[in-house]
């Protein structure tokens, strides 16, 4: 599974989770937090690759602590990440 994220379209955390929701079916009980996203990514039947364009803008808009948590989560899950400036 390949997920595309455009950092130019993400202005806040709601936009961030909505971007995932447009590409992965989110359950009604999805909590819009990194723990819920981690669980969702772990449940995928095939390996996940996340391709991010304008990743620096994404990090800036999400804020340092949240963005750092997102990168750590992806590393912990061994999700392949492709970053484009």
Indicate the pTM of the whole model: 0.88
Per CATH, the homologous superfamily of domain 2-84 is Barstar-like (3.30.370.10)
**Beta-strand relationship, 80-84 and 2-6:** unpaired
- Residue-wise pLDDT tens digits, 14-71: 999 999 999 998 888 899 999 999 999 999 999 999 999 998 999 999 998 999 999 9
Q: Which residues pair with 81 in a beta bridge?
A: 50
DSSP-derived 3-state class of residue 54: coil
- Residue-wise pLDDT tens digits, 27-42: 888 999 999 999 999 9
């Amino acid at each position: 599974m390949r997920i595309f994220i455009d950092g130019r379209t993400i202005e806040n955390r709601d936009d961030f989770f909505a971007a995932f929701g447009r590409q992965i079916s989110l359950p009604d009980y999805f909590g819009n937090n990194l723990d819920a996203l981690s669980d969702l990514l772990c449940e995928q039947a095939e390996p996940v690759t996340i391709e991010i364009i304008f990743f620096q803008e994404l990090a800036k808009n999400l804020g340092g602590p949240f963005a750092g948590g997102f990168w750590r989560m992806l590393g912990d899950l061994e999700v392949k990440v492709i970053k484009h400036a």
